[in-house]
Structure 1
Amino acid sequence: MHNKTMKRHEVDKKSKELPTLSKDDTGRIRSQGKWNLKVQSEDIFSTLASSVNSFGYSLYNKVKTETDGNFVISPFNTVTLLYMLYVGCTGKTSKQLRDKLLIRVQKSFIPPILHSYLIMLSNVQSKNDVEYAYLIFINSLLKYNKDFSDMLVHSIFFRYISKNFMNETKWINNIVHIKTNRKLKYVIAQGQITNHSAVLLTDVLYFAGSWVNPFVKEKTKAEMFYLKRNEITKVMTMQLSARFNQFNGDRFKVIELPFENLFSLYVILPKEGVDIKQFEKELSYLSVENIAHNIGFVNSSVTVKLPKFDMSTRVGIHAQLKALGITDIFKPSQNDFSQMFHGPMKIRSENKELIKSFRKQRVDKVVQKTKVKIEEDSTKYSNDGGSSEFKNLFHVNRPFLFLIVDKQSKMILLMGRITDPSMRYYYGGI
């Protein structure tokens, strides 16, 4: 979406030459079987952010067509999982992932980069409730490469699990439940994987932030929310008067609401009379990048009225990945996972169809589950001193989009749409 008041971001993502890492950049040290590293250069995380934001924007545009209601995806989680898959690929499969994900770093440096960033993400958990996990499930009938699995184990955030998939849906969901400190469960439904499934990729993320300027429950009350032009409901709406960064464009406006430590919530609100679906079609990648970089924002006093929401999305994104050009990993005749597998094991079975299905490996499903909670902070008191409302009002009383962004690297952790704050679930495409 071109907006005359929003200056063009200086970085052209298609032409930008991204840095190649050196050993000095990563400070990579292998000690006692674990990664021990410090990533010094901010350019490294900015390089990752470029890949996450670009691919995440494209993925969002594919997922949004499946539903008219609420949903949230994690561009960061998707790209992180695919980066690790890229490490296990060679040949044309590797090239396809590199090109589609805009990977501009040496393959050997990807594990320590991701590990270092996830360590940093773990450090913000003292202020924000963030849980995440990345799991690669492979059928035990496949002979996997132990060096690759050991490399993943060295990163405490990844797990590479060999298992016979028959009747193991409950087991997989319990693994996810444990890895997220019991915040998330039910990633896979019964019957969605079978004993013929080869590889299942899953990533999960839970986010509940702690506000820098806290909303408090005493000021939350029911307010009108316009679902559609002639359809109105009441939703519990938080209120706070303070100074925030804001952008005011011709067709939409944005407010940045910072969390403690690393992240900020950006609420993107179409102007009155602008249909949310039409607005999504107009919203360009450039505009999303400008929002993440605070281009054109002004800091001013404002009264914010924001609906509480608690939103979960479980979605299979294999169809969307194929539509975005990542196809080889799903095709047994075209992929090259030689860094992940030694080839199929000799299967002792009279089931010829089962034997045939494991002649060459492939990814069967890629499933993501995300949950985001936006609510008052019960542990803090508001710092607005009980002041009356400011003349400048940012009232979120109609469908909106949102981003949760890492303010250091400008990386988009979560991106979503809320058309009805009272709706809590979207499950699709698995």
Structure 2
Amino acid sequence: MRICKVGTVACILSTATLINSQQFSLSDSVNAFGISLLGETINQAGDSLNVALSTYTVWTLMAVLLEGSKDNTARQLENTLRIPQNQVPLRTNFRNYSYTLLSKADGVTLELNTAIFTNKEFPIKKSFQTVAEQSYNVAVNPLNFKNPPQAASLINKYVAQATRNRITTFVSPGDVMNAQVFLTSILFFKGQWKIPFNTTATHKETFYDEKNNKIGEVDMMFQIGTFPFSRREDINAYTVELPYGYVRESLSGVLNLISKMPFTNIIKGLEDAEREFGNVDIHMYLPKFKISSDFNLNVVLNKIGIKDIFEYDKANLLGIFDHYLYLSRLIQKAEIEVNEEGTVASAASGATLEDRIQPPKFRANRPFLYFIVDKSTRSILFSGKVSNPNTLK
């Protein structure tokens, strides 16, 4: 059997209900998959590990692979990604979605790069290559996988350039030794706060776990400003429109509740809060943090419904090659840094959350979830959790 290796840079409930093409919403698909992926990754990571994920890049890779999959392999991808069997609406929506996503905004840099590295001796099917290039803006690059060090070096150079040298060693020669195809999807985000935090106000503050036990200290940033802020009874959480949410319930409990509703409900709630209460000052306390994550997502994706593609005797990717491939691994490296000036992520962009009661203070001094959201497409691009104050630098 040939091996197909897939990588992504960072980047729900999975349902068995088939999605009708008339009901298809690309942002709902991206968000539902992203919440599911985040929830299971946090579950696998445990309480002591901070998490950074580019859920959007993983979704993109899976959507491209769907174009080359058949039979049960395709059905599992469709169900978990919430994509209809008729993929024409997906292709059309993805082109428009990408155009909107990449529209420039002041103080924000957002770049997307998706590439397929193919074996020079076994070119991929022309029909698959055409769809990948025209519908998903994928660059196809032939490589000599018989020279693993050279192949790994070329892939790493591509990733380093796309992430402004924030991720310079994405793969090792061992990762591509038996590869016939290697896919990568990269998202780079850099954003400046509209109102930066004053560095002189940053101070040491105690960080607590979910049981209110002191577990360390963080560099807590502070400012007073007007932020959309709300208390959502349906998810037992306080929300604020910076890229982060502070919860009273356990993180797993909040994610479970969020997975049962369209994520756009939370975005709309914050927009409503901004219109109704936009001039109320909030005392904002947010830790500085830097998180690097390095995951093999095979188990996580299997748990949320993508199974056969990882099995050499079950995977059907005959839409890519005339011989059988399987997905040996899906790896992700992601990095995010939040400071007084703004946010840099090697895979993301952001803000989220909802409704509203009187909010004198928003103090993120215990485990919290964060979502970086593109408001023009109402889609989650990057997400994670902060739970261990001792590994934030």
- Normalised to the residue count of structure 1, the TM-score between the two structures is 0.71
1:268 alignment counterpart: 245
Q: Quick one: distance in 2 between partners of 1:252 and 1:197?
A: 45
Aligned residues between the structures? 350
1:4 alignment counterpart: none
2:65 corresponds, among 57, 73, 85, to 85
Corresponding letter in the other structure for 2:339:
E
Q: Quick one: distance in 1 between partners of 2:309 and 2:118?
A: 14
2:44 matches 1:66: yes
2:156 corresponds, among 173, 178, 187, to 173
Once the two structures are superposed, the pairs formed by residues 8-407 of structure 1 within 5 Å of their partners are: 20=22, 47-67=25-45, 68=47, 69-104=49-84, 106-124=86-104, 126-154=106-134, 157-165=137-145, 166-167=148-149, 168-194=151-177, 196-227=178-209, 229-249=212-232, 251-257=236-242, 265=243, 267-271=244-248, 276=250, 279=253, 283-286=257-260, 289=263, 290-294=265-269, 297=273, 299=277, 300-341=280-321, 343-344=322-323, 360-377=324-341, 392-407=360-375
Once the two structures are superposed, the pairs formed by residues 411-430 of structure 1 within 5 Å of their partners are: 411-421=379-389, 423-424=391-392
Q: Quick one: distance in 2 between partners of 1:282 and 1:327?
A: 22
Corresponding letter in the other structure for 2:83:
I
Q: Show CA shifts across 1:320-373 (max 9, x none).
A: 2222222232334333333322x24xxxxxxxxxxxxxxx21222222232223
Contact 1:209–1:374 under 8 Å retained in 2: no
Corresponding letter in the other structure for 1:216:
N
Q: Quick one: distance in 2 between partners of 1:139 and 1:91?
A: 25
Q: Quick one: distance in 2 between partners of 1:120 and 1:100?
A: 24
Q: Quick one: distance in 1 between partners of 2:340 and 2:170?
A: 27
1:316 is displaced (CA, Å) by 1.9
Moved more, 323-332 or 228-237: 228-237
Residues 192 and 231 (structure 1), Cα distance of their counterparts in 2 relative to 1, 3 Å cut: farther
- If asked which structure has higher relative contact order (CA below 8 Å, sep 6+), I would say 2
Residues 376 and 129 (structure 1), Cα distance of their counterparts in 2 relative to 1, 3 Å cut: farther
Contact 1:321–1:327 under 8 Å retained in 2: yes
Q: Show CA shifts across 1:157-216 (max 9, x none).
A: 52333334323333322221122332323222453342x233333333333322233323
Structure 1 SS opposite 2:168? coil
Q: Quick one: distance in 2 between partners of 1:81 and 1:63?
A: 17
Q: Show CA shifts across 1:197-237 (max 9, x none).
A: 33333333333322233323343233332357443433222
1:248 is displaced (CA, Å) by 1.8
Q: Quick one: distance in 2 between partners of 1:203 and 1:331?
A: 22
Contact 2:296–2:329 under 8 Å retained in 1: yes
1:279 is displaced (CA, Å) by 4.0
Contact 1:401–1:417 under 8 Å retained in 2: yes
Q: Quick one: distance in 2 between partners of 1:92 and 1:283?
A: 29
Superposition CA RMSD, Å? 3.2
1:396 is displaced (CA, Å) by 1.1
Q: Show CA shifts across 1:43-101 (max 9, x none).
A: 97xx0111112122221222112322210212222212211111222333323322222
Percent of aligned positions that are identical: 25
Q: Quick one: distance in 1 between partners of 2:128 and 2:200?
A: 52
Q: Quick one: distance in 2 between partners of 1:268 and 1:119?
A: 28
Moved more, 116-125 or 59-68: 116-125
Q: Show CA shifts across 1:130-179 (max 9, x none).
A: 33332333444534113422443346852333334323333322221122
Contact 2:160–2:167 under 8 Å retained in 1: yes
Pick the structure with greater CA Rg: 1
1:392 is displaced (CA, Å) by 0.4
Residues 135 and 90 (structure 1), Cα distance of their counterparts in 2 relative to 1, 3 Å cut: same
Contact 1:87–1:108 under 8 Å retained in 2: no
Residues 419 and 190 (structure 1), Cα distance of their counterparts in 2 relative to 1, 3 Å cut: farther
Q: Show CA shifts across 1:376-425 (max 9, x none).
A: 238xxxxxxxxxxx980111111111112222333211221001356258
Structure 2 SS opposite 1:235? strand
Q: Quick one: distance in 2 between partners of 1:191 and 1:421?
A: 33
Structure 1 SS opposite 2:29? helix
